[in-house]
Structure 1
Amino acid sequence: MPRIPTNNLNANTAVQAFINDLTSNKWGLNEAWLAVSKQLMTCEIWDELRKTWAQYYNQPVLRERNDYKLLANGSPNKALQESTLVGDYIARKLKIPRHDLCSYLGKFLKTLSIQPQNPRGHAFRSIVAETLARYGDPQITVEEEVNPYILFPGNQFNLRSKNPRIDIVAYRDGLPVALCSTRWTYRHDRVDILEEARAYMPVAKQIYPNIHYFGITAEMNPARLKKVVDQTKPVSPSADVDCLVHLHKPLATTVVNHNGDLAHLVDLVDWVHSSPNW
């Protein structure tokens, strides 16, 4: 299935690095999350004052930095313990020594030497689009950063951005069959995935009754994940969001011993396999 490239040069560079990882390691869809982790996940945090990356507990930084702390007795708090478990898991999957993990992560992101939030978000979107195009239904075309006013002319959308864009749109026979909102992480008090679904789906369903809406994330905070999962169709049949898709569901569930509340979280592999049904 073809992917229409974005105009974002950094995002396209990230996609090429992702493809190179897949090719050099002979990885497929099941390992795509590993290639994403190598490019976009870091053990470091960005020091805006010094304009450089700074080491932070020597573990993957998967949540807001303030979530990670040492307790009064010097032991890691729950978030830091979970980060250690994720690091152990990724090292095993990469088949590398655990102490080498941090040097394997963030390959693309750390080459930019700029504040990482926006570049990582754009890169994540484009890599998800490439993954869908590469491994999904070949009859679907994938486009990024689609102007909703062109896709749904004559409508207004109540969103914060003055120039909103739909992260990914999948088309079949030239007609949109799925809208996707991608977020590497998201805030608990401002969940763009839900806000965008509420804005776009009432209009989209009037024109295309069978259109789907998906949120796609690498978020690791269980409360934030549950907030969106609880507003998806498996839990609430009238919801605007079909499902929340995770880069690699085990990272947010079994690896860190979070299970029941996130039963309806969908793995990226299963989501891509579902594309013939759109």
Structure 2
Amino acid sequence: MPTRIETLTAVTRIFDSSTFRLGKPVAATAWSGIYQALLWYEAVTSIPGRIGLPHIIDANRLTYPLSTKGELRIWQARAVAVEKYMADQWEVDPTRIAGMVDKLMKLSAYAGLQRHNILGSAFAGLVKHALYLFGSQNVTYELEVAGDNAFPGVQLPTRTGEPFIDILVRKQGRNRGIISTKWSIRHDRINDLTSECRAYKNAARFTDTQIFYYVATNEYDPARVEKPLTDKCIDGVVHVHKPLVTEVSGLDGRLAEFLDLSELIEQSNQW
């Protein structure tokens, strides 16, 4: 199995060689590199003429049989719309999208491996890479930092084992904030985010330090992001590409409060 460093190197190379609108990546198109590296297709057999759909929601909601009227279910229709949007942005036919994404797990070194743990490290690495490329150069972005080293005495009641911070932002050696990266948010781990935010902010106060806490995600399910979006501790929930959720998928109610990844990158200039 590839090491974490090997995975970060591989996924960064994939990002850098991805297809971007107008050719060169910028903050607003960083999502394209992330999706081409990590987004995958879910196999479907219930839709004539299709063998898969972009995995934007739990697989069972993409693999339902068609409605009694022979129409796509709501999440199937959203996945088709996401596919069309990507095709428009990358100026290719929609039938080509499945072959343009999931490039990390298609590498021979990852054949047969479980996606979950690899996805977590790779997503954090790409968020960091985007911040490094397009964000402030006056701060540092550090991956998988031991929580009790960065914040001595921190206690996370919802976690077991050693706590790790996905991305720790520092300026001149001082902690500035945390970005917790979650490609998707499990329904049984939603409370972990709010508890973690409070634990780290409380620990920071022991050194008279105020930190920010953001959650970066690719979650589309409103039920799974409602609590982080409304939590008073969390400073913002960042989506890989907000327009895919609010405009393409039509989830512009509760999820209108998402920040786009490009907005987080812009905010880094204030850190």
Aligned pairs (5 A) from 1:92-241: 92-111=88-107, 112-113=110-111, 114-191=113-190, 192-231=192-231, 239-241=232-234
The C-alpha deviation readout for 1:93-136, integer Å capped at 9, x for no partner, is 01100111111111112221211111111100000011111111
Q: Hey, what does 2:47 align to over in structure 1? A: none
Q: Is the 8 A contact 1:226 1:261 kept in 2?
A: yes
How far apart in 2 are the matches of 1:143 and 1:182? 13
The C-alpha deviation readout for 1:154-199, integer Å capped at 9, x for no partner, is 3433232302200000111110101110000011232243232132
Q: Is the 8 A contact 1:146 1:168 kept in 2?
A: yes
- Residue 263 of structure 2 is aligned to residue 270 of structure 1: yes
Q: CA deviation at 1:7?
A: 4.9
- Residue 237 of structure 2 is aligned to residue 244 of structure 1: yes
- Residue 249 of structure 2 is aligned to residue 256 of structure 1: yes
How far apart in 1 are the matches of 2:193 and 2:105? 23
Q: CA deviation at 1:147?
A: 0.5
Q: Is the 8 A contact 1:181 1:196 kept in 2?
A: no
Q: CA deviation at 1:208?
A: 4.4
What amino acid maps onto 2:150 in structure 1? L
How far apart in 2 are the matches of 1:85 and 1:195? 35
Q: Which stretch shifts more, 8-17 or 241-250? A: 8-17
- Residue 60 of structure 2 is aligned to residue 66 of structure 1: yes
Partner SS, residue 271 of structure 1 = helix
Percent identity at matched positions? Answer: 29
What amino acid maps onto 1:9 in structure 2? E
What amino acid maps onto 2:212 in structure 1? H
Q: Hey, what does 1:77 align to over in structure 2? A: 73
What amino acid maps onto 2:128 in structure 1? A
What amino acid maps onto 2:221 in structure 1? N
Q: Give structure 2 stretches of 5+ with no counterpart.
A: 44-49
Partner SS, residue 216 of structure 1 = strand
Q: TM-score, normalised by structure 1?
A: 0.86
Q: Is the 8 A contact 2:37 2:103 kept in 1?
A: yes
Q: Is the 8 A contact 1:182 1:193 kept in 2?
A: no
How far apart in 2 are the matches of 1:218 and 1:22? 19
What amino acid maps onto 2:215 in structure 1? G
Say if 1:66 and 1:7 are closer, same or farther in 2 by CA, change over 3 A.
closer
Q: CA deviation at 1:72?
A: 4.3
Say if 1:127 and 1:86 are closer, same or farther in 2 by CA, change over 3 A.
same
Q: CA deviation at 1:11?
A: 2.4
Partner SS, residue 131 of structure 1 = helix
The C-alpha deviation readout for 1:13-69, integer Å capped at 9, x for no partner, is 112211232799422221110111111011136xxxxxxxxxx84220111111221
Q: Hey, what does 1:50 align to over in structure 2? A: none
Q: Is the 8 A contact 1:222 1:252 kept in 2?
A: no
Q: Give structure 1 stretches of 5+ with no counterpart.
A: 1-5, 46-55, 232-238
Q: Is the 8 A contact 1:22 1:32 kept in 2?
A: no
Q: Is the 8 A contact 2:152 2:203 kept in 1?
A: no
